[in-house]
Structure 1
Amino acid sequence: MPEIFAKSAKTVRVGGSESKSTVSKDELKDRRCTSNELKEIMKKISFRTPSLAKRLIQRVAEEKLGGFFAVFCSKDDFTYVSRGKTYCQTENNGVVCYAFQHH
């Protein structure tokens, strides 16, 4: 298997060759959310604190959309990786939250 290196989300080098994708800001926003329903839930919740925001988002998403959701919120930078069809990242009052449905 070839080695894979990433300098950023836009630059990946596989087996010595470098690939750069040019992604517009609108495309990047679209890639941060696959569900309009989840996006609306997250936008309606006022993110006063990351701890409160994650619990409210999880509770409302599970009630309205069904299934199980994991939610991460922070006022600071964070990184994550996940797999799933339903996910969304939003920002409200300086708090960034990422939610995804899992099984």
Structure 2
Amino acid sequence: MNTMTLDSWCKPEGATKSSPLGLIRFRISDADHIRMEEAEEQLKHSDKSDAILDVDLSNLELETPPQCGKLSDCQLRVYIHKDDQRGHFHLVGHRASDGSLVYTNAVMVDLLG
């Protein structure tokens, strides 16, 4: 498993821009890592711009900032970065309290080791 600690942002519905939220910490399982690598390879050979992978929250071991609270859903968005043609991912979800979009910085899939 890989533990990630990433900056996060929150964008309430109707807002024009996101606000910094703080650090989100989570663990990527070996199975999810493999799924991200497979998605990266598929994206390199297709015309799709990204792939959304659902994540089992019970395996994620998610820690959010106090002002965020629980997330009602989480997904890993995998995409090919246009500048380096490498796979990147970030965590995306919605704050359970109000449905605001919450997301993290992107990280290269290769960095998961």
**TM-score, normalisation: structure 1:** 0.35
Look at both structures and tell me which one has the larger radius of gyration over its CA atoms.
Answer: 1
Q: Which has the higher contact order (CA 8 A, sep 6+)?
A: 2
**TM-score, normalisation: structure 2:** 0.32
